[in-house]
Amino acid sequence: MPSRQSVNFPGFSHANPIPNASRIGNIMMSSVINGRDPETAEMPSDLGRQVVNIFTHLRSAVTAAGGGPDDILKITFWVKDPATGRGALNDEWLAMFPDENARPARHTQALIGDGPALVTCEFTAVFQE
């Protein structure tokens, strides 16, 4: 049985002692990823910039584990306002997953809380070995 491996990547970390993602064999699941700027660690105030950062982190996560965006099976997003959040996600979504016949599953829900994050996500990847 393969052992579990923590997956971390530059430009994102958690305050708690948890990895950015964890992988066993060809399956990886992320912890919650937010839209902090990968260079400054600051949280932008606008949704569009946070979305760009989230997709940067998604790519960095799967790359750090030896894969790429094509290995992402499902992404769940939480946004402060799902009606506007879905639209804000679509440009980056289409850029990362242009083939309509080969996109991961996606679910968008309301993000509850008073923090500065306007969008967060978690994902599952299955690496083709």
21-72 pLDDT per residue, tens: 999 999 999 999 999 999 999 999 999 999 999 999 999 999 999 999 999 9
Strand partners, 108: 77
The pLDDT tens digits of the residues spanning 62-119 come to 999 999 999 999 999 999 998 888 889 999 999 999 999 999 999 999 999 999 999 9
Residues 6+ apart with CB under 8 A from 56: 11, 38
Closest-CA residue to 40 (of 12, 19, 9): 12
**Residue 61 host element (H or E):** helix 47-64
Let me know: does 33 contact 20? Beta carbons within 8 Å.
Answer: yes
What pTM value is reported for the model? Answer: 0.94
What domains, with CATH codes, occur in the chain?
A: 5-126 (3.30.1330.40)
